[in-house]
Amino acid sequence: MRFASWISAGVTKAGVVGDHGLHAFDPGVSVLDVVRSGLPTALRLGEQTLHRPAEPLERARLLPPLQPPSVRDFVAFEEHVEGVVRSVGGSDGTAVVPEEWYQAPTFYFTNPYALIGAEDDVAVPPGCSLLDFELEVAAVLGVSGSSLSVPQAREAIFGYTVMNDWSARDLQRREMRVNLGPAKGKDFATTLGPWLVTADEFEDRTDSEGFLNLKMQVWVNDELVGEDLLANMGWPFAELVAYASRGSQVRAGDVLGSGTSGNGGCLAELWGRRGAQEPAPLKPGDLVRMSVEGIGTIANRVVPGISLPPIAPARPRPRNRR
């Protein structure tokens, strides 16, 4: 089952994607409401909604499938980490994946209010000259809990969607030298879409360890830049969910990104491997298209951003204690 949110004729709607278009729920019912009802109830509602009249998909502007309570983004692909470490620390072969990466999954919280839809434009953030994409898949939780076991975490996953964790690499590098972040380097746009596909659709694509065997691809202006398998993650999604809930809380509707795929899942990885900014950073007019097998395709065009005054530097530390 595929659940979506969209705008048509100025009205925001939520519903189910069928063979003939979009079938809307009753007014006021959101995908987040449906996710919180649990997967069995959601599937029953979806089947009922498919009998309603459909509106053409091409007449709608797709929104992020849901408005999540929180968004965590992991870094679960070793190949991606290796390439990005080289882009920061040099491509002479001395930069390696930190030992700490292997010890436990790592994630950061990003801005749930910066989510954009599958075909929305992406404005270059203020002060950025190294704009990058990041090819990911995100899991959406259908239940809440704390300190979930891996089997419980697996059952908690409602479904999956495509995620592009857009990155301002120059802003990100500056702020992470302070050993905190990323923050503003990630605070401007994250694409989710085109819809939310329920987890039951992937039972035959899941191996014995819980990894999803799905092909991931990304193009820039119709040139294939990267492709990988989702199964190349260092941990399956159930392990990521369990870790996120460890001594903490996860909520139904929470989004957890896989982190960026390897083999060209972002430009920074390629820059690190090649020792040069090839391909070039994204610029206004570029179209970034991502496709994940079994889920769908998102395509966002880069547009100029706004110009803002420079950031004021910190004042010298005051010495007077009184």
What is the Cα–Cα distance from 227 to 284, expressed in whole angstroms? Answer: 23
Residue 287, both tokens: 């179209």
Q: How far is CA 309 from CA 72, 135, 170, 302, 305, in A?
A: 30, 31, 17, 22, 13
Residue positions counted in the chain: 322
Phi-psi region of 179 (alpha: psi -120 to 50; beta: other; left: phi over 0): left
pTM of the model: 0.96
pLDDT of 90 reads: 53
pLDDT of 86 reads: 86
Helices (H), 157-220: 169-176
pLDDT of 87 reads: 82
From first to last of the 322 residues of the chain, give the pLDDT tens digit: 999 999 999 999 999 999 999 999 999 999 999 999 999 999 999 999 999 999 999 999 999 999 999 999 999 999 999 999 888 765 455 568 999 999 999 999 999 999 999 999 999 999 999 999 999 999 999 999 999 999 999 999 999 999 999 999 999 999 988 988 899 999 999 999 999 999 999 999 999 999 999 999 999 999 999 999 999 999 999 999 999 999 999 999 999 999 999 999 999 999 999 999 999 999 999 999 999 999 999 999 999 999 999 999 999 888 887 8
Domains and CATH numbers, the chain: 2-62 (no CATH), 71-303 (3.90.850.10)
What is the Cα–Cα distance from 59 to 8, expressed in whole angstroms? Answer: 7
Report yes or no: 195 and 159 within 8 Å, Cβ to Cβ.
no
Q: How far is CA 264 from CA 164, 170, 174, 217, 321, in A?
A: 13, 19, 23, 9, 52
pLDDT of 92 reads: 54
265 three-class SS: coil
What is the Cα–Cα distance from 218 to 6, expressed in whole angstroms? Answer: 24
pLDDT of 318 reads: 84
Report yes or no: 253 and 69 within 8 Å, Cβ to Cβ.
yes
Helices (H), 225-289: 237-245, 267-274
Q: What does residue 64 show for φ and ψ, rounded to 5 degrees?
A: -50, 140
